[in-house]
Amino acid sequence: MSDSHVRSLSKAFSWRIVATLTTSAIAYFVTGQIDTAVAIGSIEFVLKFLIYYLHERAWALIPSRSKPAG
């Protein structure tokens, strides 16, 4: 059974929050500029959200193999 579109979107969104905060923190640490860190985090959030969702949906198209009983 594969995930629904809503579940895939929810997973992508929740992961993007965690990952974007991490990316923004790293960008701030490297640049020392909050505006640059927010800009990088914002761009990263949108692009990677879309990429993750497409990746999830591609995997949902692949039938899972089940082991034969016995």
User: Does residue 48 lie in a domain region?
Assistant: yes
Which DSSP category does 54 fall into? H
> How many Cα neighbours within 13 Å face the side chain of 44?
19
Range of the domain at 38: 5-61
Amino acid identity, residue 49?
Answer: F
Tens digits of pLDDT across the chain (70 residues): 567 888 877 887 888 899 999 999 999 999 999 999 999 999 998 998 888 888 888 988 888 776 666 5
Residue 39 · residue 28 · CB < 8 Å:
no
- What's the predicted TM-score (pTM) here? 0.64
User: Does residue 70 lie in a domain region?
Assistant: no
User: Does residue 66 lie in a domain region?
Assistant: no
State how many domains the chain has: 1
Encoded tokens for 60: 């949902």
User: Does residue 10 lie in a domain region?
Assistant: yes
